[in-house]
Amino acid sequence: MPFEVVLIVFIVLVGLPWMILHYMTRWKTAATITTDDEVLLEELYSLAKRLDERMDTVERLVASDDPSFTPTKRLLADQESDNQQLRELEKMIAEKKGAQ
């Protein structure tokens, strides 16, 4: 048998499965988000919501004192496009809580 044929058979029967199994193992041992990380993310999300509500209050107070005040663009509770993103995020958090 020529050397090229032996090399091709070796690559197909040994090299390819080894490479596939190697990367499958790497994928399974990759760092994942821990439960502590999930709790921290949930706390940060609730903190961000509270801060957003406070910003709304501050903007209303400033707007009542200065009619020329215009609020900056950010996630607003009264915009439907932002509400949809927030609902999806809250749904994901609720699903995570239900799974635990």
Q: Are 86 and 79 in contact (CB under 8 A)?
A: no
Q: Name which residue leads in pLDDT, 99 or 5.
A: 5
**What confidence score (pLDDT) does residue 92 get?**
82
Q: Between the CA atoms of 67, 78, 85 and 36, what dihedral angle is there, to the nearest 10 degrees?
A: 80
Q: Are 3 and 11 in contact (CB under 8 A)?
A: no
pTM: 0.47
HSE-CB of 7 using CA atoms within 13 angstroms: 3
pLDDT digits (tens, 9 = 90+) for 3-41: 888 888 988 899 999 999 999 998 888 777 788 888 888
pLDDT higher than 80, residue 2: yes
pLDDT digits (tens, 9 = 90+) for 47-73: 988 888 888 888 888 888 888 888 776
